[in-house]
């Protein structure tokens, strides 16, 4: 195998990996868009719940 064909194989693998990552991102965006309307996020309440979990566990 010469270095030219080896380089093509690496490039093809990188392209396939990039395509898979793009497809995964596309699917995640579709799932997010289909999950409903956005809800407000109360960071203070979240922090209190997490602190309570740490204290109890």
pLDDT of residue 8: 73
Label each residue of the chain as H, E or C: CCHHHHHHHHHHHHHHHHHHHHHHHHHHHHHHHCCCCCCCCCHHHHHHHHHHHHHHC
pLDDT of residue 56: 82
Burial of 51 (0-12, 13-18, 19+ CB in 10 A): exposed
Half-sphere exposure of 15 (CA within 13 A, CB side): 6
Distance CA 22, CA 28 (A): 10
Q: Give me the average pLDDT of each 10-residue run along the chain (57 residues).
A: 66 93 97 94 96 87
- pTM given for the model: 0.52
């Amino acid at each position: 195998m010469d270095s030219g064909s080896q380089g093509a194989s690496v490039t093809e693998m990188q392209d396939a990996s990039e395509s898979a990552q793009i497809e995964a991102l596309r699917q995640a965006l579709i799932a997010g868009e289909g999950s409903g309307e956005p809800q407000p996020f109360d960071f203070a309440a979240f922090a209190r719940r997490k602190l309570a979990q740490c204290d109890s566990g």
